Structure 1
């Protein structure tokens, strides 16, 4: 999840950060190539162009270990496919920090899942890891449902036994008062069933707590649920109208003959290749 330490780990491996504890031992013949998440070089280029330029420079040094931090963040679909093909045939070691599940499934064979300061190592692709988690979650939830039914049945049985115990005690006390001295169930036997019922409920609660702890430790990916509210314009009045416009970047015309109309409550996606002018259009 975000903030779990993926980027920091990559920086420690290539020597940009010092480990606060312990020791990192790297063989002398290891040559790291580190692609950071934020690329500050060449601000005049698009995000995809910057990544291609920086990655080409890294590969020219012939690293045998590539450390890639969110490499597909700024790539269009074409460049993204091209990057994955290149990484599939890369002969060295790859360590990738990414939320891109397709990338992880395509080019990696071992998963390190970092969550709450712990690392879970899984030999296989991300899809299989998720499937195992889902199957285990379903199994635990099924067992919790069974335990809930068992707890309800045990609770009802205990209540019946307590009521039977109460009636027997009242009846015994009444006959003793009448000096009839009948043979009645002993208090030991009367209490034995109740004690057994309480122990059974205690065991059920203990088992339930164990399952809940196991369920919480499955480390499912973080699901971000926004808690804020956006107060939009609740009408369909025209907001933006563009006719016969052009967009230029440093005197170079990128887009021309633009006709664009946007009304309230509409949702528009800008889609195109890297450097096609999407960001420039928004800035304009």
Structure 2
């Protein structure tokens, strides 16, 4: 039977909080670090995937990034890709040092935006031997212009971010907009998205549905497609034509330097977070991928 431990570990000058899901059985298990969408806390989807991986024999760690959920860090709910990559590095270090984990057999699973962050860590972290990217949001500046209204749309967000940054530096006040809202045009995702707004899905009290406006430059400038040629680890992508930016996933997959596998299935982006059969399809594919690419000695 899977067990779960509430854990804490250092990430530079802050302490992060996570859930370590451990499989039943003797001996160290291969370890997988798991993370979810931008702005998310571990309870939204990372816990679900980590628990399912533990059911399949892996020691899986989900955690809250700096400034999110139960983890320390200021400002709160501030999306910084480079900081999230750093946090993943420290999460891997925690797994390396845990007695229930086989430090020679480590992988990473990223859902949506965490696909970018897991890849960002893996290019410089040889401890990660394998990657699985589920419904991956993989963008570069060109894709961001397509998604966010062209040059004019991106420029508008950058101008808003500059004003918010000036306010923060002058008064220490963080300006927030909703992550998801169909009624606020400034929302990071200005749509009524059931997953995030439904309390029976992702609309949980642990997730405050707020986006720090000054975070736009780091998000819009992050070039995850350029990471692909630097990845030599085996990479699995699980995606759908109806999920987010499939062209970004295709471009990323085409540019990968190492062994690669693409599983095309069905479902929109949000079904991969908590719905069946998408979650089981993705977890089964990831578990099989990790079993092949993290073999025991």
Shared fold per TM-score greater than 0.5: no
**Which one has the largest radius of gyration?**
1
Q: TM-score range by the shorter chain?
A: under 0.3
TM-score by length of 2: 0.26
TM-score by length of 1: 0.27
Q: Which has the higher contact order (CA 8 A, sep 6+)?
A: 2
